[in-house]
Amino acid sequence: MEVNGTIEGSIHEGNLSQIVKNGNLNVEESGITKKSHELNGSQVDGSGNFSNFSGKGTVLGEKGEVWGNTHVGNFFENVKNGSFVVQESGIPKNTPQLNGTHIDGDITFSNFSGASDSGSVNSNVGTPTYVEDVGSNGERKKVAVTEGKGGVSVEQFGGIGSNDGKSLTGRGKDFYGDCDIFDGEWVRDDTKPHYPPGSCPIIDRDFDCHLNKRPDDGYIKWRWQPYACDIPSLNATDFLERLRGQKLVFVGDSLNRNMWESLVCILRHSIREKKRVYEISGRHEFKKKGFYAFRFEDYNCSVDFVSSPFLVRQSAFKGKNGPFETLRLDLMEKTTSMYSDADIIIFNTGHWWTHEKTSRGEDYYQEGNHVHARLKVLEAYKRALSTWARWVDKNLDGSRTQIIFRGYSATHFRGGPWNSGGQCHKETEPIFKKAYLKKYPSKMKVLHHVLHNMTTPVIYMNISRLTDYRKDGHPSIYRKEYKTVEEQMAGVHAQDCSHWCLPGVPDTWNELLYASLLKSRKGLWKN
């Protein structure tokens, strides 16, 4: 296939496909031909080596802008006219890299450069460069791109290889490495779920809708499909292999516990001898210390949950009329010692900031010895997240620890809030029209601001929109099995429309976690 001018290719195993502006590329289906090819003045020899490659941009935006892609800042970012210096090194087979291009074979790159709106990128600078990113919420944001001694880190820059031996196929102009995997739609998938309903004993009774006799099961038959690309299906054995000898910890509120239970169930289902998966600490330990963990003996790894609903410390203040409860916006929760040594940490906080005590903000938020008479919840949330961000930047090594922040999960109470008769028990299908979705959560806009000012790379899992579609996925009245009609009637007035049934929506979060970790190409997730 020989093309002059603009080339828009897709990913095929054994092919070198690329979106190239003003370039010549000669590619055969079996790989790179033995004769030399020219690409913007760069020689490609028969062995597939690139040298002295330069030019303005390689990926075209919707309006003709030139875009590259990287994730060395806080989000999945589009970098306008991105420039990169990649040292000579072998590229593993079946590793798609560089703007989503699938590279098969022993190809090395040297002196790869381009033009950047933010200034040239070199290998001797260790400070962030700020560029613009357009996220799935349509908001333009400033993004930090960190440069290091060895050139720009290409974490989250490239794509990944499929774990089932199949190549990933780009949909439209974007590939997995370039697209926003959180911008998409739910499609019916009868192969779901990852584990049979009722098969995982660690699921909290409140989340086990199947055990609690929910009559329909359509809510487990949906798959998240990004608009611009395909993501790999979660390979539980591969996930465990990459976790070998490591510690993964979820830190946050009960929605993160929802996600943690989902991941343990997915991974446990792939283990033949279930007795080789066991609790490090039991439920009685969780109630005492807010810590719950499972060990996968065959892989010498653990998947833990640490309860920290605000991330910052719940405390007490001695006032004139006696002690009263406060929230220390300037101090992290004491549980940090339980996860500071982890290899992968997934943080979240959000739902507890909507409760009456926090949202009212009267005589509750404390900084130092001062208790604010009144403080708006968004300002308090920002200060708490800033405390978390400072702790991460000071105490965690981003080159060793993969840090993730999972965004706000949508609720679907109808007819009232969570504590006043709100309902969702009649919902059996997702929302299909975007017009019916809520506005992007204000708390997540605050989170964007905090993440942009951090020096440590953080993967942001922007699940707000994808969960907003799923009004059918909550436990609602199926939090327990009712023994009497009276109990069932009482359950209608105390529904759970914020947590999620398991199996269910949190399984998709873990699919996106798996894809995000593969995309990060950090540590054991490189190949």
- Catalytic annotation, pick one of 153, 499, 507, 516: 499
What distance in Å separates the CA atoms of residue 307 and residue 294, rounded to the nearest whole number?
A: 15
**Using CB atoms within 10 A of its CB, is residue 3 exposed (0-12), middle (13-18) or buried (19+)?**
middle
Q: Is residue 385 within 8 Å of residue 405, measured between CB atoms?
A: no
212 and 492 in contact (C-beta within 8 Å)?
A: no
Q: Are 475 and 206 in contact (CB under 8 A)?
A: yes
- 230 as an active site residue: the answer is no
Q: Which amino acid appears at position 310 of this protein?
A: F
254 carries an active-site annotation: yes
Helix (H) or strand (E) holding 39: strand 37-39
Q: How far apart are the first and last CA of the chain?
A: 28
Extract the tokens encoding 473.
């996925």
Pairing of strands 459-461, 402-406: parallel
Residue in 10, 136, 153, 254 annotated catalytic: 254
Which residue among 496, 498, 507, 520 is the active-site one? 496
Determine how β-strand 184-188 pairs with β-strand 222-226: antiparallel
SS3 state at 54: strand
* Active site (annotated) includes residue 83: no
Q: 3-state SS of 474-523?
A: CCECCCCCCCCHHHHHHHHCCCECCCCCCCCHHHHHHHHHHHHHHHHCCH
Q: Give catalytic residues, as residue numbers.
A: 254, 496, 499
